[in-house]
Structure 1
Amino acid sequence: MTRQSALLVFPIDVPQSAAFARTAHQLGFKVVAASSEPMAADRYPDYLPAYLPYVTEHGFGAALAELLRTHGIDAVFAPHPAIWWHLRTLCQSAEFPVAFHVCNESPYEMDWQSYGEAYRWAEDCVNADFLTTGTATPGLPLSNLAGLYRGYNQIPGQSDNTKLRALTQIARQTAPGDIVEIGSLYGKSAFALAWLAKFHRIGSVVCVDPWELSAIRHQGEQASLINAAAPSRDWQQAFLGFAASLSVFDNVTYLRDTSGQAVERYRQAADAGNIRSDEFGSTPITGRISLLHIDGNHKYESVRQDVEAWRPLVQPGGWILLDDYVWAFGDGPRRAGDELLATGGAKTAFTAADTLFVQV
């Protein structure tokens, strides 16, 4: 198949088809979007709309052949199991008048792929039990870890699966208390923290982020590409994505503010015993931080200020995580992290992916 060829996506009205068609269109392929259901002409403006009878109808084969000829289609994407099976039978038949191939594997295999990947990661987690001590809470079943992996990887963000694995380890040795995250964006790492806090009964997760362009500060000269890209993001959309990502939890809240302003609001809320929000209602907090995840502005002065402002609230034995300790766009997190380590008293310190983990 070449980019001059047309690609048929049928049926178009399922999530897998929509995602595949969008990618194919972005790559420059001509996409013919077909359905057996009534479809508004402007529903898929980037594709050529087409109607095909149900595969169970007598005229389906003739209609398909005509569609393939008309648009020069030589490949079909079909994520519906029964349709996929029927199309595979037709394309392998010497009697079908137009040559084509079905370009995707069995939909049953497609469905299992993400689950299989999740279970393989879960097994790696169990086998990489590198921090377990006598005080650790029990590990979680493979199915639970696989569910965490799937939910986490559906959310946009830069946190990777190596970091997620490390989070599953330290959560087993995190005392009850609040988890505070500075810089949440769409909520990918917050999802993992809330999920682990729930299963290990740690406490509530407080996400600190202004989600506002006017509050996004320069991150240093080496981060010029990131600084330049920041205004192109719709920060309100990011907040709405965050709220949707975390909506399944009852142990999450947020402070929509800069880190420097939020720390005092957090102290005041701790006196009241809760933080209220329209999206999450009343969320209890203790004012004692058991895990602090710093992933806000990466300029050295900003990371240092975050550490200085929030470190006094981290209880003994708690964790401080500095995201992007290893960073291609500057050394702010590394310098602040090295200063934290130089103060002494760390019970445990290690890096996983790009993050520095310190137990104080």
Structure 2
Amino acid sequence: MTEPLVACSGIAAADRYLAEGFRVVPGMSSQFAAAIVCGLMRIQTDLGVSGHVAEIGTFQGRFFIALANALAPGERALGIDRFDWPSPAVLDRFEENCQSYGIGPDRRITWKADSADISPEEVINRLGGRVRLFHIDGEHTRTALTRDLELATATLSPGGLIVLDDMLHAGYPMLMVAVHEYLQRHPDITVLCVIDRESLTAASKFVLCEQAWFKRYEAILLEDYKAHIWPMGANFEPHWCLVFALDTSLPAVE
């Protein structure tokens, strides 16, 4: 069944999956966030940013398939997961979902592994090149996110993006500490935008980019997604960035 999209990526294959398959594939990722992130991949392609996609915490492939459908020709998507929760059957379900929604073995790499045991060089070697977008939705602890952030950073191509899931989530408050510490260690990286939640489980995401690319991305996002910009923005002290939301209204104040 086709579902009307509140936001579109501008990539036909990705938008078709978002409308017809996204909510069919089990998972907790936000459809709204997937549209914005795939839209960022379109913007990357337009700006000449190339590379592959990698994801930690692939589960049954809901968000992964959206990203893979936004790739340019010759690019591939790498799904990293232990594939043992809630049962080992999740691996077969992931492969079946990918096949059902157009992501064949030539476009995807499935890696059954713990991200703690993976090096940046292994990621790059498996893909045959660097990563232009790395989605992190792995173990939700401060220690694990710190480790996964460093892994992702070391694999990025110029203009690459890191997308962080479950930011500002009531159940995982310490993830913000890991992000704050990471940004202090990497002053060349900043928060490009916040994508607000659909629900408590379909939680907010942060998108990180290199400082040198911030204005280029922001200028296009301001135009392409102006209907979804919350006017107050996000204050990361002293840095401000865009907030995208389904409800951008503000209360009337007299």
TM over 0.5: yes
Letter of the 2:206 counterpart: L
Q: Does 1:254 align with 2:110?
A: yes
AA partner of residue 8 (structure 2): C
| Residue 21 of structure 2 corresponds to residue 165 of structure 1 | no
Deviation (angstroms), 1:160: 1.3
Deviations 1:268-310 (A, max 9, x none): x71xxxx5xxxxxxxxx22311111111001001100111223
Name the structure 1 match of 2:251: none
Gaps of 5+ in 2: 198-203, 211-254
The match for 1:334 is 176
Give the match's secondary structure for 2:92.
Answer: helix
User: How far apart are the structure 2 equivalents of 1:340 and 1:169?
Assistant: 25
User: Any idea what the Cα deviations from partners look like across 1:207-233, whole Å, max 9, x if unmatched?
Assistant: 1111136xxxxxxxxxxxxxxxxxxx2
Q: Which residue of 2 aligns with 1:313?
A: 155
Which AA in structure 2 matches 1:359?
A: C
Cross-structure match for 2:207: 357
- Paired letter, 2:189: A
How much does 1:159 deviate? 0.5
Q: Deviations over 1:54-86 (max 9, x none)?
A: xxxxxxxxxxxxxxxxxxxxxxxxxxxxxxxxx
Q: Larger % of helix: which?
A: 1
Q: Which amino acid aligns with 2:43?
A: Q
Match of 1:140 among 11, 17, 29: 11
| Corresponding residue number in structure 1 for 2:54 | 180
Give CA deviations for 1:136-167 in whole Å, capped at 9, x if unaligned. xxx335x8623432122210000112111212
2:238 aligns with none
Q: Please, which of 57, 64, 77 is the counterpart of residue 205 of structure 1?
A: 77
How do 1:50-89 residues align onto structure 2 when only pairs under 5 Å count?
none
Instruction: Measure the CA separation in 2 of the matches of 1:147 and 1:205.
Output: 16
For 2:166 and 2:136, the matched residues in 1 are separated by 9
For 1:246 and 1:266, the matched residues in 2 are separated by 23
Q: Secondary structure at the match of 1:297?
A: coil
Amino acid at match of 1:329: G
Aligned length: 194
Report the AA paired with residue 164 of structure 1.
A
Q: Which runs of 4+ in 1 moved over 6 A?
A: none
* Counterpart amino acid of residue 109 in structure 2: T
| Equivalent-residue separation in structure 1 for 2:34 and 2:162 (angstroms) | 15
- State the alpha-carbon separation in 1 of the partners of residues 36 and 152 from structure 2: 22
8 Å CA contact 1:288–1:315 kept in 2: the answer is yes
Distance 1:187 1:340, change over 3 A: same
Could you tell me which amino acid in structure 2 is paired with residue 207 of structure 1? Answer: G
1:294 aligns with 2:136: yes
Amino acid at match of 1:251: R
- Residue 266 (structure 1) aligned to one of 122, 125, 128: 122
Deviations 1:291-330 (A, max 9, x none): 1111100100110011122311112210001111121212
Which SS does the other structure have where 1:351 is aligned? strand
The CA deviation string for residues 77-130 of structure 1, in whole angstroms up to 9 with x for no partner, is xxxxxxxxxxxxxxxxxxxxxxxxxxxxxxxxxxxxx32x3xx316x327xxxx
TM-score by length of 1: 0.50
User: Would the aligned equivalents of 1:155 and 1:187 in 2 still touch at CA under 8 Å?
Assistant: yes
Letter in 2 for 1:314: L
- What's the RMSD between the two structures over aligned residues? 2.3
Residues 202, 172 of structure 1: CA spacing in aligned structure 2 closer, same or farther, 3 A cutoff? farther
Counterpart residue number, 1:191:
65
Q: Larger Cα Rg: Structure 1 or Structure 2?
A: 1
CA distance in 1, matches of 2:53, 2:20: 22
Q: Is the 8 A contact 2:14 2:66 kept in 1?
A: no
Identity over the aligned pairs, expressed in percent? 22
Q: Which runs of 5+ in 1 are unaligned?
A: 1-113, 127-138, 214-232, 276-284
Aligned to 1:179, what secondary structure does the other structure show? strand
Higher relative contact order (CA 8 A, sep 6+): 2
CA distance in 2, matches of 1:346, 1:264: 18
